[in-house]
Homo-oligomer: A and B are copies of this chain.
Amino acid sequence: MKLYNFSLAPNGLRVLAFLKEKKIKLDTHEVNVRDGEQFKEPFKSMNSFNCIPFLELDDGTIITESVSICRYLEEEYYPNPPLFGNSPKKRAQIDMWNRRLELDCLTPLGHALRNKISFFADRVLAGTRNNIKQSNDIVERGIEMSNLLFDRIEPHLEKNKFICGEEFSVADITGHSIFISFERLKFEVPSKFKNVIKWKSRLYEKDCFKNE
């Protein structure tokens, strides 16, 4: 089993945080996606979506998508600590929170990044090089969607230590990526979201998000 990753990319960081929290050591190869190594062989044939991270199983199967990789590792090899939940109900709740954070905030922020920062001008869509133009509307929409999400989770975080209760989960790893995206976009979490800011501080204290 071998992980292909680029540690500086937001989704690369998510998988790394998951591995660190579970104390998993995986054989890992860094693919320099900034320089387009993912478009060259052998990587191109391994993942036609030209993105990282992806996991190569011993039988040659390729699993892409950070959350699917983490889900597989937890289910097949590393159950503890359970970051996806240890019952169908808890798994549904964590999955729900992870999706809310991804679909309503992290993904729009990912699009905001690629539509704002000049480095991404020829790569507005992940895993491509083309002439699709950066759009300020998409940057603005990322801010609007983040504010809506924060507004919705602010009361929920009044009585929850982490996004899905007392236990840290994969949804909190997604939450951490939201704040990292904010840093890269030079956005500030509005000060009225006091519980969101407390949650952010709690996440930043976790060892799994610290550089060694």
Contacts and interface: CB of A to CB of B under 8 A. Distances in A.
A7 interface: no
Given A72-B88, A125-B145, A125-B148, A65 B96 contact: yes
B125 A67 contact: no
A2 interface: no
Interface string A82-121: 0000001101110110011011000100010000000000
A28 interface: no
B49 A100 contact: yes
A88 B48 CA distance: 22
Interface residues of A, number: 40
Nearest to A125: B148
A147 to B, nearest CB: 10
B125 A65 contact: no
Contacts of A107: 103, 107
A68 B92 CA distance: 5
For the complex of A and B, the 8 pairs showing the least CB-CB separation, nearest first, are A72-B92, A76-B88, A135-B137, A68-B96, A75-B88, A68-B95, A137-B137, A65-B96
